[in-house]
DNA sequence: TAGGGATTGTTTTTT
DNA sequence: ACAATCCCTA
């Protein structure tokens, strides 16, 4: 260590045997018993009283000179609280950053400040985010402030950073450093095998559910030995812990990790090898954590291990940024408690509140604040803004059913579009993924470009995963899961029975599948046909492995996909999605170019590779409230605010008040995404799982403070269809007038199969029953009058949007639509095509969305 | 071994 | 309604 400041992990120096004397060991032994005790009261070493000693900067003269040149200009544009958060670099700091208060700005500026002052080298900074996207943005923004000085910074997701560390020390936890990272699919397949061997009825204890249980344990930092037996209860006939242990065992033999392991093994590594922990503690002089409210316990423990300094006089330089009001991931193990107990963990911690909102109008802010105030157990913040204009009130609209709701939103979007309002400033945020569908269809018929954010991720698609599986087997012959996945895909006569015998042999000889298979084909154990097929594919793999030494990973992939018959399989397929799959395979090759070699690509594909965001041009965004966190839009539509859907019934059933409060935070997140316009809506009738359900307006609507909200009767929509009752209906709804449709039905919980239809009952909350109707005949009548039929509306508007261009299509021509599949054009009107789809029925769509068939 | 008919469940999502 | 998965038969 020449300078003492090099990152030992970036030089290829051997890692073990450094530091970690006896004194240190005692110190750690105390620690070792503690990290897994989440509830203990053990406190962190306190911050020293008085000003923290300036940390001796390693940056040398250049940094000193920069520091002497006066405060950097970026400080000038910060408000007081922000500046405080940026400058408080010594000691533990918790930044409570409300929505739209410039959180990212503070984080990035703080990083820049640390680098600028020469307090630490980039590699001495650990900065953790939750998503790759956040990490990328952060890096870009910091680079924008201080330039290339960010190189080498440990900036990434918990998992990416955990992986980086784990690869360095894999042997210490029984892995090899080239371990594979499994995704959910692989996990389930593996678990199924274990369940089968254990003779556990998969019907009664589905692998999906058990993997969830195991995951939850991992989230808590619990290895099989640490799980409290009573915690497992009756799950899997009381054998859940044993299964967990076996699962871990199998992972180890496969030289694989699931996502949870990436951190869990880090915890094991750090507690069992204090000298290793010591190195990282020495290394990381500053730790920054984004979205702290979303950390789970294992992440918390990881941070806690790393943040603790060996010198009790020196405080941990850890800065966590978060917002308890935006904690919406409790269901996947996030522990709001982490943020609530920060001051206890780090006595003397400074807590800085960012409350000045730069995003939304006073009305939007007021509505959101009023709503979130109904939650208990908050750290408490009061967002404020000094915008002079209150802006438009938050509009709440009650509508007849989901179709109408989608139509109204569609119309508004269209109106905004005509006014020249940029489409990418518009978002429709829904509670659950399936809700995007009706809006999608609406946008298609209107010809409004849209994008669904957060659909299936690119690398999760079947064809991409298959292709990757081939590569994984090439890179790692021991990768059984990958081998199994593609050994008979395309079908090549290596079926279940063959694989069963291979499995058996593999288990007996404790060999990886592909090795066992190689041995078997050299004997007479298999039937000749199976033996021939299996030999062929094994030879293929041998050949490809050879090839991988000679050519780059792109060429290799091309060859493999071609020679394996995989591409041919999709080319011959008649499935409507086949063309898209081939497209994705090409896309994969393009994506691979970003990586240097196969190993690097494989590393990133499971951790980092994002969904293809090749959406071009301005588009309306459709997404769930969860995926909207962190984003902002000029106009936000929030449909589906109905009891049972939002708040979601299951959230309440499974988590009671805590579940409800998380739903409320979700609503808060939704509203605070909007800068100037926020429109909430709910429908009286909604079709869920095929059957119509009457629904009550969400309780959250009641909770919105009246002075920031306007409840709107959307006349016109029903004019002439409901015998004049429509307008009254809405007046009554919130004004307490007389009823429509007789009321009396309600209870809008969405039940299962058997609750189909409407059931009599009294709304739970004793509210006015106004808006719940009985569906039935009246509803049918409405539908048949054309409320549900789209054609008249569409054609009327086609002229506005489509102009006079005649689409280049002829009637009777065959065509293909990304969403609806193949079909036949039956009518051409301007750029609108009416198409009879083979599967999806007859629809009118914009020609631009339609392609020629292959 | 493969493909078709029955069965089943259907919140949110990152890594 | 719908899709994914499972089981069974050809």
Cα separation of A438 and A404, whole Å? 10
Q: Token pair for residue A109?
A: 């500026």
Cα separation of A222 and A124, whole Å? 29
* Residue A690 contacts strand C, CB under 7 A: yes
Point out the least confidently predicted range of A93-107, A353-367, A380-394, A486-500: A486-500
* Spatial distance from the CA of A261 to the C1' of C8 (Å): 39
Which among A355, A404, A345 is positioned nearest to A640, based on CA atoms?
A404
Cβ–Cβ under 8 Å, residues A523 and A516: no
Tokens 């896309």 correspond to A587
Confidence of residue A853 (pLDDT cuts 50, 70, 90): low
Confidence of residue A830 (pLDDT cuts 50, 70, 90): low
pLDDT at position A289 is: 96
Please report, for chain A, how many H helices and E strands are present, in that order. Answer: 33, 21
Note the Cα A184 to chain centre separation in Å. 14
Cα separation of A88 and A81, whole Å? 11
Is A34 tagged catalytic? no
Confidence of residue A606 (pLDDT cuts 50, 70, 90): confident
Q: Which of A7, A42, A84, A104 is catalytic?
A: A104
Cα separation of A224 and A218, whole Å? 9
Q: How many CB atoms lie within 10 A of CB A229?
A: 9
* Residue A247 contacts strand B, CB under 7 A: no
pLDDT tens digits, residue range A645-671? 999 999 998 889 999 999 999 999 999
Measured between its terminal Cα atoms, the distance across chain A in Å is 62
Best-predicted range by mean pLDDT (A176-190, A215-229, A404-418)? A404-418
* Residue A624 contacts strand B, CB under 7 A: yes
- Kindly state the DSSP code that residue A630 receives in the 8-state scheme: T
Cα separation of A305 and A449, whole Å? 48
Q: Token pair for residue A415?
A: 């109106």
* A802/A267: higher pLDDT: A267
Mean pLDDT for the stretch of residues A215-226: 93
> Peptide bond preceding A407: is omega within 30 degrees of 0, i.e. cis?
no
Q: In whole angstroms, how far apart are CA A345 and each of A40, A92, A97, A549, A838?
A: 10, 10, 19, 51, 61
Cβ–Cβ under 8 Å, residues A546 and A518: no
pLDDT at position A105 is: 93
Tokens 């009416």 correspond to A834
* Spatial distance from the CA of A241 to the C1' of B14 (Å): 25
| Nucleotide whose C1' lies closest to the alpha carbon of residue A497 | B1
Cβ–Cβ under 8 Å, residues A281 and A306: yes
Nucleotides of B under 7 A from a protein CB: 1-3, 9-15
Strands A426-430 and A691-694: what pairing? unpaired
* Spatial distance from the CA of A756 to the C1' of B11 (Å): 19
State the nearest residue by CA to the C1' of B11: A432
Cα separation of A673 and A49, whole Å? 40
pLDDT at position A316 is: 86
* Residue A510 contacts strand C, CB under 7 A: no
* Spatial distance from the CA of A201 to the C1' of B6 (Å): 20
Is A653 tagged catalytic? no
pLDDT at position A77 is: 87
Mean pLDDT for the stretch of residues A679-696: 89
Q: Token pair for residue A294?
A: 């979303």
Cα separation of A40 and A31, whole Å? 12
Cβ–Cβ under 8 Å, residues A513 and A504: no
* Residue A834 contacts strand B, CB under 7 A: no
Confidence of residue A779 (pLDDT cuts 50, 70, 90): very low
* Residue A496 contacts strand C, CB under 7 A: no
pLDDT tens digits, residue range A409-427? 999 999 999 999 999 999 9
Name residue A157's beta-bridge partners: A129
Q: At A228, is the secondary structure helix, strand, or coil?
A: coil
State the nearest residue by CA to the C1' of C2: A689
* Spatial distance from the CA of A576 to the C1' of C5 (Å): 20
pLDDT at position A285 is: 93
Is A610 tagged catalytic? no
Tokens 């193990």 correspond to A333
Q: In whole angstroms, how far apart are CA A204 and each of A211, A216, A684, A753?
A: 14, 19, 37, 19
| Nucleotide whose C1' lies closest to the alpha carbon of residue A691 | C1
State the nearest residue by CA to the C1' of C3: A689
Q: In whole angstroms, how far apart are CA A316 and each of A139, A340, A350, A410?
A: 23, 18, 12, 52
Cβ–Cβ under 8 Å, residues A822 and A853: yes
Strands A841-846 and A125-129: what pairing? unpaired
Mean pLDDT for the stretch of residues A564-586: 83
Whether the pLDDT of residue A240 is over 80: the answer is: yes
* Residue A454 contacts strand B, CB under 7 A: yes
Mean pLDDT for the stretch of residues A730-745: 31
* Residue A626 contacts strand B, CB under 7 A: yes
* Residue A201 contacts strand B, CB under 7 A: no
Whether the pLDDT of residue A64 is over 70: the answer is: no
Q: In whole angstroms, how far apart are CA A184 and each of A189, A191, A481, A733?
A: 9, 10, 12, 46
**In sequence order, which residues have a C-beta less than 8 Å from that of residue A730 and are 6 or more positions away?**
A398, A711, A712, A713, A714, A715
Q: Provide residues 473-502 of A with CB closer than 7 Å to any strand B atom.
A: 488, 491, 493-498
* Residue A25 contacts strand C, CB under 7 A: no
Best-predicted range by mean pLDDT (A414-428, A750-764, A838-852)? A414-428
Q: Token pair for residue A330?
A: 């409790």
Nucleotides of C under 7 A from a protein CB: 1-2, 6-7
Tokens 């070699």 correspond to A597
φ/ψ (deg, to 5) at A816: -135, 135
Beta-strand runs (E) in A270-404: 286-289, 318-322, 350-354, 394-401
Which among A331, A849, A426 is positioned nearest to A622, based on CA atoms?
A426
Cα separation of A501 and A152, whole Å? 49
pLDDT tens digits, residue range A502-557? 888 888 888 888 888 898 888 888 888 888 888 999 999 999 999 999 999 999 99
* A818/A446: higher pLDDT: A446
Strands A394-401 and A620-624: what pairing? unpaired
Is A673 tagged catalytic? yes
* A309/A259: higher pLDDT: A259
Whether the pLDDT of residue A756 is over 70: the answer is: no
Point out the least confidently predicted range of A133-137, A426-430, A700-704, A812-816: A812-816
pLDDT at position A845 is: 63
Cα separation of A82 and A97, whole Å? 9
Q: Token pair for residue A133?
A: 């996207």
Q: In whole angstroms, how far apart are CA A479 and each of A178, A317, A321?
A: 11, 41, 39
* Residue A12 contacts strand C, CB under 7 A: no
Q: Which of A258, A291, A324, A438 is catalytic?
A: A291
> Peptide bond preceding A490: is omega within 30 degrees of 0, i.e. cis?
yes
Mean pLDDT for the stretch of residues A152-163: 94
Is A291 tagged catalytic? yes
Q: Token pair for residue A819?
A: 């969403």
| Nucleotide whose C1' lies closest to the alpha carbon of residue A687 | C1
Q: How many CB atoms lie within 10 A of CB A238?
A: 11
Percent of chain A beyond pLDDT 70?
A: 76
* Spatial distance from the CA of A824 to the C1' of B4 (Å): 27
Cα separation of A300 and A139, whole Å? 23
Q: Token pair for residue A339?
A: 């943020």
pTM above threshold 0.85: no
Cα separation of A139 and A137, whole Å? 5
Cβ–Cβ under 8 Å, residues A454 and A627: yes
* Spatial distance from the CA of A241 to the C1' of B8 (Å): 28
pLDDT at position A42 is: 33
- For A67, how many CA atoms within 13 A lie in the half-sphere containing its CB? 15
| Nucleotide whose C1' lies closest to the alpha carbon of residue A756 | C1
State the nearest residue by CA to the C1' of C6: A203
Is A353 tagged catalytic? no
pLDDT tens digits, residue range A18-35? 332 222 323 333 333 333
Q: How many CB atoms lie within 10 A of CB A753?
A: 8
CA–CA–CA angle A109, A112, A114 (5° rounding): 110
Q: Which of A220, A281, A664, A673 is catalytic?
A: A673
* Residue A203 contacts strand C, CB under 7 A: yes
């Amino acid at each position: 260590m020449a300078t003492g400041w090099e990152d030992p992990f970036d030089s290829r120096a051997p890692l073990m045997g450094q530091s970690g004397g006896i004194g240190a060991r005692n110190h750690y032994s105390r620690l070792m018993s503690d990290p897994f005790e989440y509830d203990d009261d053990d406190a962190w070493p306190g911050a020293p009283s008085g000003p923290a000693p300036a940390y001796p900067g390693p940056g040398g003269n250049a940094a000193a000179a920069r520091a002497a040149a006066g405060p950097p200009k970026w400080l000038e544009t910060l408000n007081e609280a922000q500046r405080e958060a940026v400058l408080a670099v010594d000691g533990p700091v918790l930044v409570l950053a409300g929505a739209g208060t410039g959180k990212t700005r503070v984080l990035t500026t703080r990083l820049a400040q640390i680098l600028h002052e020469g307090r630490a080298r980039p590699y001495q900074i650990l900065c953790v985010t939750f998503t790759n996207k956040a990490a990328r943005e952060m890096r870009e923004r910091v680079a924008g402030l201080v330039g290339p000085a960010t190189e080498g910074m440990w900036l990434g997701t918990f998992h990416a950073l955990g992986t980086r560390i784990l690869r360095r020390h894999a042997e210490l936890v029984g892995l090899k450093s080239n371990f594979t990272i499994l995704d959910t699919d692989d996990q389930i397949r593996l678990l199924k095998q274990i369940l089968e061997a254990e003779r556990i009825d998969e019907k009664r204890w589905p692998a999906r559910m058990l993997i969830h249980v195991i995951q939850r344990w991992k989230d808590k930092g619990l290895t099989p030995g640490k799980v409290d037996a009573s915690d497992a209860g009756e799950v899997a006939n009381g054998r859940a812990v044993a299964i967990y242990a076996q699962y871990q065992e199998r992972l180890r033999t496969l030289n694989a990790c699931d996502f949870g392991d990436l951190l869990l093994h880090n915890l094991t590594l750090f507690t069992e090898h204090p000298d290793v922990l010591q190195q990282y503690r020495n290394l990381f002089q500053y730790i920054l954590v984004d979205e702290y409210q979303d950390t789970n316990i294992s992440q918390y423990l990881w941070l806690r291990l790393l943040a603790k300094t060996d010198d009790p006089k020196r405080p941990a330089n850890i800065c966590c940024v978060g917002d308890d009001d935006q904690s919406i991931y409790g269901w996947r193990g996030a522990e709001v408690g982490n943020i609530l107990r920060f001051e206890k963990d780090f006595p003397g911690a400074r807590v800085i509140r960012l409350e000045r909102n730069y995003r939304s109008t006073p009305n939007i802010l007021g509505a959101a604040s009023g709503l979130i105030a109904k939650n208990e157990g908050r750290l408490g913040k009061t967002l404020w803004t000094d915008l002079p204009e209150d802006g438009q009130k938050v509009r709440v609209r009650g509508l007849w059913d989901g179709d109408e709701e989608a139509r109204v939103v569609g119309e508004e979007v269209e109106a905004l579009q005509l006014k020249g309002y940029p489409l990418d400033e518009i978002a429709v945020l829904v509670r659950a993924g399936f809700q995007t569908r009706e809006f999608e269809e609406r946008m298609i018929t209107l010809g409004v470009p849209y994008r669904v954010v957060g659909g299936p991720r690119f690398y999760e698609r079947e064809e991409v995963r298959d292709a990757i599986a081939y590569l994984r087997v090439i890179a790692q012959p021991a990768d059984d899961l990958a081998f199994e996945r593609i050994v008979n895909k395309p079908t090549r006569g290596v079926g279940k029975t063959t694989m069963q015998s291979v499995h058996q042999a593999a288990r007996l000889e404790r060999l990886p599948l592909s090795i066992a298979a190689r041995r078997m084909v050299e004997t007479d154990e298999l039937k000749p046909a199976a033996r021939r097929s299996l030999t062929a594919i094994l030879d293929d793999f041998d050949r490809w492995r050879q090839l991988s030494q000679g050519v780059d990973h792109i060429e290799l992939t091309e060859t493999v996909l071609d020679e394996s018959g995989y591409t041919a399989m999709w080319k011959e397929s008649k499935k409507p999605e086949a063309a898209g799959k081939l497209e994705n395979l090409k896309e994969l090759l393009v994506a691979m170019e970003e990586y240097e070699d196969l190993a690097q690509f494989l590393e990133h594909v499971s951790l980092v590779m994002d969904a293809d965001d090749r959406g071009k041009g301005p588009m309306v965004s459709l997404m769930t409230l969860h995926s909207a966190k962190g984003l902002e839009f000029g106009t936000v539509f929030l449909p589906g605010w109905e009891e049972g859907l939002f708040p979601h019934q299951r959230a309440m059933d499974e988590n009671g008040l805590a579940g409800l409060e998380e739903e409320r935070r979700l609503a808060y997140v939704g509203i605070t995404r909007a800068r100037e316009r926020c429109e909430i809506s709910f429908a009286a009738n909604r079709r869920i799982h095929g059957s119509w359900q009457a629904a009550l307006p969400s309780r959250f609507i009641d909770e919105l403070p009246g002075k920031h909200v306007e409840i709107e009767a959307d006349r016109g929509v029903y004019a002439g269809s409901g015998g004049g009752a429509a307008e009254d209906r809405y007046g009554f709804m919130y004004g307490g007038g007389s009823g429509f449709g007789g009321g009396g039905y309600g209870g809008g919980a969405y039940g299962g199969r058997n609750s189909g239809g409407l059931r009599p009952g009294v709304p739970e909350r004793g509210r006015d029953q106004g808006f719940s109707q009985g569906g039935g005949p009246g509803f049918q009548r409405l539908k048949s009058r054309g409320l549900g039929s789209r054609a008249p509306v569409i054609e009327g508007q086609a002229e506005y949007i489509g102009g006079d261009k005649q689409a280049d299509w002829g009637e009777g021509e065959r065509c293909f639509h990304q969403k609806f599949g193949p079909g036949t054009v039956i009518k051409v009107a301007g750029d609108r095509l009416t198409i009879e789809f083979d599967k999806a029925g007859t629809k009118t769509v914009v020609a631009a969305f339609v392609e020629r068939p292959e």
